[in-house]
Amino acid sequence: MADWIKRCVLSVVRVPAEPMAPEGSAESVRVFRAGNSFYRWQIIKWLLVNVVILALLTADIILPGRVLRLAPVAGSIWYSLSLVALFIFLASLPLTYFSLRLNFELRWYIVTDRSLRIRSGIVTVREMTMAFANIQELRVRSGPLQKLLGLADLEVRSAGGSSGPHGTSQAHIGRFEGLDNADFIRDLISERLRRYKDSGLGDHHEPGASQSTLLTNALNVLTEARALRRALTQTE
Give 201-215 pLDDT, tens digit per residue.
655 444 444 455 566
Give 35-90 pLDDT, tens digit per residue.
999 999 999 999 999 999 999 888 877 776 555 566 677 777 778 888 899 999 99
Look up residue 115 and give its DSSP letter. Answer: E
Whether the model clears a pTM of 0.75, i.e. scores above it, the answer is no
Q: What is the Cα–Cα distance from 17 to 105, expressed in whole angstroms?
A: 9
Q: What is the mean pLDDT of residues 3-12?
A: 70
Q: What is the Cα–Cα distance from 198 to 43, expressed in whole angstroms?
A: 44
**Mind giving me the DSSP string for 123-161?**
SS-EEEEEEGGGEEEEEEE--HHHHHHT-EEEEEEE--S
The amino acid occupying position 90 is L
Contact between 140 and 182 (Cβ < 8 Å):
yes
Q: Quote the pLDDT of residue 236.
A: 55
3-state SS class at 116: strand
Q: What is the mean pLDDT of residues 78-107?
A: 90
Q: What is the Cα–Cα distance from 118 to 198, expressed in whole angstroms?
A: 25
Q: Quote the pLDDT of residue 215.
A: 63
Q: What is the Cα–Cα distance from 105 to 127, expressed in whole angstroms?
A: 15
Beginning with the edge strand found earlier in the chain, give each strand of the sheet holding 135-141 in spatial order. 135-141, 152-158, 172-179
Contact between 122 and 15 (Cβ < 8 Å):
yes
Contact between 79 and 61 (Cβ < 8 Å):
yes
Contact between 70 and 64 (Cβ < 8 Å):
yes
